[in-house]
Structure 1
């Protein structure tokens, strides 16, 4: 199946993005033009960007209204926005970290809710980006809880929407080389160390394209029988 006629909505945060060959609408803050401008070059696809705060209800409503007014429908929704914050349970800022993580979980639910009818009409697909780090990880309790909840959201939505022909799956990336990792000195020193890489079966860090290819597979008609799946993209961690 070609995705060039599909309307794909992806949420992003900071500088992480994945690109599929379809008509795409992005939300990111800031610098949305840096993501959108190169995509249409030499391709029979379009892309628009909406600068918005994915944590604000009014902005989420604006995003939903924009995709439906510009394209008239939404075929594919990729809930990709997120953060990775480290805070031990005993640290003074733990509850603030937890609240921030849960805001992203809430925003994914609200945007999905607003676009559900359009996805039902098109018998579309939803892909939630979870994480390998739904497993216990030092200082990552808040993020671990968020990702476990994301996986449960995926399974529950898959159950609820299966009579309508909507597939709902999640992807659990391992270590992916993005600015979220490389721009964080503490995190990059830890997870890019030889000892950490040694724990990955393929002995390499993932790339954004690895995640994009997995998303493209899950939203393709060839995988239309697959729903409620949690797909690991982690190099055999």
Structure 2
């Protein structure tokens, strides 16, 4: 397990689920963590958990659809800790389940705004800061298996995640010589509040169907995604950029 002692990480959507677990993992490895979320209570709880375990973290309320807020998020990292080494752009929403012909256009656009435009807003300022540092930095975007394949009644989410992989690869190409690496993780169905809110795990029959979509016949855990994110940030992954790493129990291998 690589050490991030004295490094600084930003995690968006850090108030719950994969974001919280990854923020805690960064801190456990020695990083100072800026937890960003629109959920103030959840974000502050993540900071409390980190501090109770002996780590260092702060919270900044951040709406990733607001460029002023994402710029301020990066400023908080630099003003508080002096730099920005790692960024995990994880904030996202699932949106309503609806066929393309039935989808409300405003709700569809809302999914795009958070899951795709929001990541662009973060990357714009994260990468600019990392480029100024002699040591560069690493950006990891939370995409999805739906960045590679479609899924019925999830057109906004799938469109956003497909776009996010294109954004990730483009930024990686632009930064091949700047010392900034840009990658994505593509989780399968993970045991998170987001999945529960979408109604995919509360019903036992539905849960079993979702589990069976994965050759490993189970859901993933937030810790498994957090470990993948942290590996992409480690020096051992120094020649990895523009990659979309599946953390999916074999889902995409079908």
Short-chain TM bin: over 0.9
Summarize the Cα distance change of 1:148–1:171 in structure 2 as closer, same or farther, 3 Å threshold: same
1:153 Cα deviation from its structure 2 partner: 0.6
Question: CA–CA distance in 2 between the matches of 1:102 and 1:193?
Answer: 26
RMSD: 1.9
1:115 Cα deviation from its structure 2 partner: 2.2
| TM-score normalised by structure 1 residue count | 0.92
Where does structure 2 lack aligned partners over 5 or more consecutive residues?
A: none
Q: Given the alignment, which residue of 39, 48, 52 partners 2:50?
A: 39
Give runs of aligned pairs for residues 72-87 of structure 1, distance below 5 A: 72-85=82-95, 86-87=97-98
Summarize the Cα distance change of 1:41–1:11 in structure 2 as closer, same or farther, 3 Å threshold: same
* 2:36 is the counterpart of 1:27: yes
The one-character-per-residue Cα deviations of 1:148-168 (angstroms, maximum 9, x if unpaired) are: 110001100000001112111
Question: CA–CA distance in 1 between the matches of 2:204 and 2:69?
Answer: 35
Where does structure 1 lack aligned partners over 5 or more consecutive residues?
A: none
| TM-score normalised by structure 2 residue count | 0.86
Q: Given the alignment, which residue of 61, 82, 104 partners 2:71?
A: 61
1:185 Cα deviation from its structure 2 partner: 2.8
The one-character-per-residue Cα deviations of 1:158-215 (angstroms, maximum 9, x if unpaired) are: 0000111211110000000111112333675489532331221111111110110000
Q: Given the alignment, which residue of 78, 81, 102 partners 1:91?
A: 102
Q: Which has the higher helix share?
A: 2
Counting matched residue pairs gives 235
Summarize the Cα distance change of 1:125–1:13 in structure 2 as closer, same or farther, 3 Å threshold: closer
Question: CA–CA distance in 2 between the matches of 1:191 and 1:23?
Answer: 41
Q: Given the alignment, which residue of 118, 131, 139 partners 1:107?
A: 118
Question: CA–CA distance in 2 between the matches of 1:14 and 1:183?
Answer: 15
